[in-house]
Amino acid sequence: MTTPPPPGTPYHRLARTARHRWWRPVLGTVLLAVGLLTAICLLYGVMAAIGHLAGRSATPDAPPTLGPLADLAVGLVAIAVALPLTLLAVRWVQARPVGTISSVCGRLRWRWLGTCLLVAVPAVVVLLGGGIGLLALTGGDDEPAPAGTGWPGWLGFLGALAVLLVLVPFQAAAEEYVFRGWLLQGVGAFLRTPWPAILVQAVLFAAAHGWGTRWGFADLAIMATLTGWLTVRTGGLEAAVALHVVNNLIAFGGAAATGELAAEEAAADATWEIFAVSVLVHLGYTIVVLRLARRRGLATVSPEAVPPTGMATPPSAGAAGPPAPTGWPPAPAAGTWPVGAPPTALGTGPADRAHGTTAPDLPRTDGAEPTTGSGGRPSGPGEHVAEPVGETGPPGNRR
């Protein structure tokens, strides 16, 4: 059984449900790390066995390889395994709905994800194009292309592109669910302000990509900080996932087109030119996404609980209830007045005059019987006169 977060909870606090205990995020993180390491060892163990059987090792001491594309595919799958492990940790360890790690709405908001993808595509194109252009201007891209690279032909390129389109979205989403999802909410469960959680996950994200250059580390940390802030301000992972997926697809696609899938250079090895362009592009992406989120009125806190279908909802304070009883007896149906009723009993309201209907004398509230004088009109002080039904009768008879 899962326990949802209380209404009005921001994204970074969604792990703090009624069943939250200090040890749940800690235990979940340990199990997630152990499960991921186990899966990675199994995957690379199987790849090593296949490589040895196929005689693909360059030397007896070199690790086996199945080729650039196959090696990359195994690496992407090894990272993507973290996605289901994270969801299981949310469900089993923290005992809360799985969708609460996706957004405050308890699910992945697909339309919002599509909007973010449309914003991410031009942003990544500017990032890569601007970085390459600045490198060309500063002479930082004078290194010769590695041997054996170049256009692999349409068959090789399309085959690699198909593999990337299948695996990269899961690999990129897995990293976002671990860092901007699990870690951000795990730290956020202890603190009301989101900034410590944002900074912790940003540093760990940059460290997980290895140490290349100080510019590369700073670039990864700033990007993770901005996407972490976007996650909190938009109430979900969609903006971060969209940017990560598009960035990796275009980067790996470019490597596939130039035959450089086996290149060991990564984001952690970025130069200052790439760093400068990257910071500007990520800032622009953050501003645009935040403005779109405000314009759409995107939910940033968990909504109120919705009662099950068919269950009556209690009226809110001040809501209009059923009319209070007035003490008037129900009026007879039209056409059922007693035959031979005296003229004195006829109603005098506009409706009675229009339709020719009559109404009997209504009982007095003090229990006394009304008296009538000559001509059918009441006589004497304190005598009761029947009120016109069409004007002052019970609420149900007003026209």
In angstroms, the CA 387 to CA 359 distance is 10
Q: Are 132 and 233 in contact (CB under 8 A)?
A: no
What pLDDT score was predicted for residue 228?
98
**Taking the domains of the chain in order of start, what are their residue ranges?**
11-141+149-296
What's the confidence (pLDDT) of residue 389?
A: 45
For the chain, the three-class secondary structure string (H helix, E strand, C coil) is: CCCCCCCCCEHHHCCCCCCCCCHHHHHHHHHHHHHHHHHHHHHHHHHHHHHHHHCCCCCCCCCCCCCHHHHHHHHHHHHHCHHHHHHHHHHHHCCCCHHHHCECCCCCCHHHHHHHHHHHHHHHHHHHHHHHHHHHHHCCCCCCCCCCCCCCHHHHHHHHHHHHHHHHHHHHHHHHHHHHHHHHHHHHCCCCCCHHHHHHHHHHHHHHCCCCCHHHHHHHHHHHHHHHHHHHHHCECHHHHHHHHHHHHHHHHHHHHCCCCCCCCCHHHCCHHHHHHHHHHHHHHHHHHHHHHHHHCCCCECCCCCCCCCCCCCCCCCCCCCCCCCCCCCCCCCCCCCCCCCHHHCCCCHHHHHHCCCCCCCCCCCCCCCCCCHHHCCCCCCCCCCCCHHHHCCHHHCC
Residue 332: predicted pLDDT: 55
User: Which pLDDT belongs to residue 391?
Assistant: 43
Mean pLDDT per 10-residue interval, the chain, length 399 residues: 94 95 96 95 88 70 78 94 97 96 97 98 95 87 64 91 96 98 96 96 95 93 97 98 97 91 83 94 98 96 66 47 53 51 46 47 50 48 46 45
pLDDT of the residue at 260: 86
Report the amino acid identity of residue 338: P
pTM of the model: 0.75
CA distances from 178 to 26, 46, 66, 246, 385 (A): 14, 25, 28, 18, 82
Q: So what's the pLDDT on residue 295?
A: 96
